[in-house]
């Protein structure tokens, strides 16, 4: 049996009218079924909370035929889906897992959506020294922040056309070598270079690539990555998810290459590019 036949066979219609896949993947349906070739589609990874969740609500008013919500937490995705006017497909998967990535690839190849917007918000970060960060935590950062991003974009670009856009959640840490977040900031440095590279590759196809690099954002990400050893002053100058998404969509409309919230973030990224030794010393002062 080929892959496409296997995907179709593993679909089933449950009692609530929700079309679902084998592997716990599914799509929401309320007489506006989010299935069909060439539907004008927005895809959001990391959609269950924070910046990804905010993007889902903002894209709800943009006239898409369908929004794909991708994340690990199905219950959170259902709540978000129920609050949208646009038909939505829930795909519950762990993008750091190679098997789930392959399943996502099969779904994209089978559905063949007309992807007008891809928003990549899935990511994870942890504090700690080079010897303190757990082995599994180190690899989860690399797998989710780097490998899954590259794969998700490479799976999706064949289904994008002129005028489509890719928004990638990067970070101010991409510009600053950050002791105690060495792996995380290094994964984001990769993301920055990757965005710059594929932007040029996709320019002839008229596909826009926007790098979004905020500083600290007041979301659950901070609670998940910090511990009692991290001083509160490290998180000075936080912005909100709403601020990040507002600025990103504004910058996208102007075809800008990158989006950063506020003068402070822009100044720090400038310092990181041109005077990274100085900005790293400033970072270290927060830990004293």
Residue 36 pLDDT grade (very low, low, confident, very high; cuts 50, 70, 90): low
> What integer pLDDT is reported at residue 115 of this predicted model?
96
Residue 222 pLDDT grade (very low, low, confident, very high; cuts 50, 70, 90): confident
Which residues have CB under 8 Å from 283's CB, separation 6+? 176, 178, 179
136-156, pLDDT tens digit by residue? 989 999 999 999 999 999 999
What percent of the chain is predicted at pLDDT more than 90? Answer: 60
Lowest mean pLDDT among 57-61, 119-123, 172-176, 276-280: 276-280
210-221, pLDDT tens digit by residue? 999 998 888 877
Dihedral pair phi/psi, residue 24, rounded to 5°: 70, 25
Which tops the pLDDT comparison, 170 or 220?
A: 170
User: CA distances (Å), 227 to each of 49, 144, 186, 214, 222, in order?
Assistant: 20, 21, 20, 21, 9
> What integer pLDDT is reported at residue 118 of this predicted model?
98
Token pair of 30, please?
A: 């309320």
| In CATH, 3-285 is 3.30.420.40 | no
């Amino acid at each position: 049996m080929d892959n496409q036949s296997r995907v179709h066979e593993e679909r089933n219609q449950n009692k609530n009218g929700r079309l679902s896949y084998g592997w716990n993947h599914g799509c929401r349906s309320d007489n506006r079924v989010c299935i069909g070739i060439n539907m004008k589609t927005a895809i959001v990874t990391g959609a269950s909370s924070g910046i990804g969740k905010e993007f889902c609500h903002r894209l709800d008013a943009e006239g898409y035929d369908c929004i794909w919500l991708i994340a690990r937490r199905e219950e959170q995705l259902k709540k978000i889906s129920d609050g949208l006017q646009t038909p939505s497909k829930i795909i519950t998967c762990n993008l750091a897992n190679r098997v789930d990535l392959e399943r996502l690839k099969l779904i994209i190849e089978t559905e063949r959506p007309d992807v007008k917007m891809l928003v990549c918000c899935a990511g994870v970060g942890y504090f700690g020294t080079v010897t303190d960060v757990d082995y599994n935590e180190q690899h989860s950062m690399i797998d989710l922040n780097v490998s899954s991003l590259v794969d998700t974009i490479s799976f999706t670009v064949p289904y994008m056309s002129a005028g489509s856009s890719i928004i990638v959640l990067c970070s101010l840490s991409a510009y600053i070598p950050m002791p105690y977040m060495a792996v995380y900031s290094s994964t984001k440095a990769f993301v920055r270079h990757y965005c710059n590279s594929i932007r040029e590759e996709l320019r002839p196809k008229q596909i826009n690539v926007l790098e979004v690099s905020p500083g600290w954002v007041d979301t659950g990400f901070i609670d998940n990555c910090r511990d009692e050893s991290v001083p509160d002053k490290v998180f000075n100058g936080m912005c909100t998810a709403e601020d990040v998404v507002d600025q990103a969509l504004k910058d996208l409309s102007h075809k800008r290459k990158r989006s950063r919230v506020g003068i402070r973030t822009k100044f720090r990224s400038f310092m990181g590019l041109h005077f990274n030794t100085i900005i790293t010393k400033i970072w270290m002062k927060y830990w004293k």
